[in-house]
Amino acid sequence: MPTFQFLNQRRPGRLLWPALTAVIGCLALASAVAQTATPAAGAAVQSPTYLRDILPIFMGNCSRCHNQQSRFVYNWLDYKTAFADRWEIRRRVWDSYQGSYYKEAMPIANSPESQALTDEDRLTIRNWVNGGGLRGVEPSADGPKTKVERIALGRRLFAICAACHQPTGRGLPNLFPPLAGSDFLNADKNRAIKLILHGRQGEVVVNGMKYNNNMPSFPLSDQDVANVLTFVYNSFGNSGLEVTPEEVKGQRALPAEPAAAPAAKSIFE
């Protein structure tokens, strides 16, 4: 009997084992690759959208300059404008910040907005641009039902206001009026609602001090306006009022009042 037949009859496992080991190794490798490439159930990755992810970042960190009242920079609170300018937004917010674009990074270095903008925010903006600048859908209209819930959600939205009025609500002298203990704010709740809905231009007197700056309007839902105002009214030593979405909706339905008296015409016109 040939030697190889004798060995195969006496110890078949000796010859089959290397092949079996190779098969098991291939199956294990394939399983590992499949687990790495396939997200776990319920862990689907969502691409950033303008309405859900980007607009809140812009309102909280860019709106002091990039708003509808500005004459010199683009209004990023408008989707069409932001979409058209998205690659420059990416270059300024991400590439310049990473040192790979020669123009100045935005927000301006050492500004309150720059200090507040996180690496995660910048990455979200980059991914939004890379993903096609999707608009997305309006957030759900479902919202808090109690005053306590409004205050909690309004606290998050206050980042939009804090860019100018400061996290303490004390404002900046000669630039942005205080929200803390504000006689102007506490005197008229409907006026406060209109300010957020329509913005304001021109002089205003708050706690005996004159301020003459622009406040942009913000593309917030009725629920959001109610939440942030309820938070402000219940913080910083203010009156403790509550603002409801129904009140905001009522004021939104009214004609917008002029933000300020029109400027006098030039004698050369």
**Residues 75-121: tens digit of each pLDDT:** 888 899 999 999 999 999 999 999 999 998 998 888 777 877 889 99
User: Is residue 11 scored above 70 in pLDDT?
Assistant: no
Give the angle subtended at the CA of 161 by the CAs of 64 and 185, to the nearest 5°.
120
* pLDDT confidence tier of residue 140, bands split at 50, 70 and 90: low
Question: Residue 242, class by beta-carbon neighbours within 10 Å (0-12 exposed, 13-18 middle, 19+ buried)?
Answer: middle
Q: What is the predicted pLDDT for the residue at 256?
A: 76
Q: What angle is formed at CA 151 by the lines to CA 146 and CA 154, rounded to 5 degrees?
A: 120
pLDDT in tens, 158-213: 888 887 898 899 999 988 999 999 999 999 999 999 999 998 888 999 999 999 98
Instruction: Give the architecture-level CATH label for domain 147-253.
Output: Orthogonal Bundle (1.10)
Q: Distance of CA 147 to CAs 55, 157, 168, 217, Å?
A: 25, 15, 21, 24
Beta bridge partners of 210: 205
Distance (Å, whole) CA 59 – CA 9: 79
pLDDT tens readout for residues 212-240: 988 888 888 899 999 999 999 999 999 99
Strands (E), the chain: 203-206, 209-212
Cα gap 197→213, rounded to integer Å: 17
Whether residue 130 contacts residue 122, with contact meaning beta carbons closer than 8 Å, is answered with: no
Domain boundaries, the chain: 50-130, 147-253
pLDDT digits 0-9 by tens, 35-62: 333 444 444 567 899 988 888 888 877 8
